[in-house]
Amino acid sequence: MEQLVIHGGAGSLEGKTTEAQIMHDSLCKVWEETFEVLQKRTAEDAVRYAVRMLEDDPVYNAGTGSKLQADGQIRMSAALMDGTNNRFSGVINVQNIQNPIEAAALLSGEKHSILSSAQATEFCRTKGIPEYNPETEFRLHEYKSNCAGIHGTVGAVALDKDGHIFAGTSTGGIGCEIPGRVSDTPTVAGTYASTKAGVSCTGIGEQITQQAAAAKVVTRVGDGMLLNEAVTKTMQESDDFNYLYGLISLDSEGHVEVGKTAALSDVFYVFHDGEKIRTFFE
Ligand code: GLY
């Protein structure tokens, strides 16, 4: 049976009821449209569809509406992982494209499947991806006022009817970072999948990377641990360092787990538990 879980980042929306409602409605719409895609097509199609929709919504910090780095430039990162074929691909700090997840998907067919910076952007041009300015007035204002705001990395993990698991994540980073910083998103710490499980992370990239979070959860499930145990153990280990991040995950039987460290308020997620839609805004 198909399963799909998506996220629109992590943080606190306490006292921001309007923002929470907007994000909730957006995530539910993305989940519903994407689930239809998943029922007709593949896990890869579904993950790319969901992440594209989220990248195109300026509410999130990915694609259109990405945060600006310290030098005022937007550099985006995205990754896609095919759990069946053990194929990870991604772009790091790519510029001036609309959908970084599509660049990651294009790279999955290449011998060298992860590209960074100018060469990632150049690869997109050679593949016919047009120039696109992802900057929004809101993010420019946020940048000029010391980069406050919600992070809003996006991600999706899908299991299709043939049992294939894909995971995808896309981010504009943390805002005002040193130009060239590499987040967890385009690494196996932030995005990982196997035939047994898939994970997409959100939160402070350095901390997610230091915990090898996504790969660790997936490996634990591969070694026989239940998904909920794998997520709980990984979060507990991260709590030893007071880390701030969360993740969405699913396994080959369709179980979904949303995990977060104790210091994190919320992961902005949506999935269906078999009876009803479950969201962060309940
Ligand atoms: N997790 C996204 C970032 O740290 O850039």
Q: What is the pLDDT of residues 156-186, one digit of tens each?
A: 999 999 999 999 999 999 999 999 999 999 9
How far, in Å, from the CA of 230 to the mean position of ligand 1? 22
How far, in Å, from the CA of 70 to the mean position of ligand 1? 15
User: What radius of gyration, in Å, describes the C-alpha atoms of the chain?
Assistant: 17
Asked if residue 175 has its Cβ within 6 Å of ligand 1, the reply is: no
CATH 3.60.20.30 is the classification of domain 3-68+135-279: yes
Pairing of strands 3-11, 197-203: unpaired
For atom 4 of ligand 1, the residue with the nearest CA is: 205
Task: Show me where the domains of the chain are located.
Answer: 3-68+135-279
At residue 122, the pLDDT reads 98
At residue 148, the pLDDT reads 64
At residue 14, the pLDDT reads 86
Residue ranges in the chain modelled with pLDDT below 50: none
Please write the tens of the pLDDT for every residue from 71-96: 999 999 999 999 999 999 999 999 99
Q: In which element (H, E) is residue 117 found?
A: helix 117-126
The residues that are catalytic are: 153
At residue 110, the pLDDT reads 97
How far, in Å, from the CA of 170 to the mean position of ligand 1? 9
At residue 149, the pLDDT reads 62
Residues 64, 246, 244, CA angle at the centre, nearest 5°? 100
Q: Is the pTM of this model over 0.85?
A: yes
| Cβ pair 89, 114 in contact under 8 A | yes
Asked if residue 203 has its Cβ within 6 Å of ligand 1, the reply is: yes
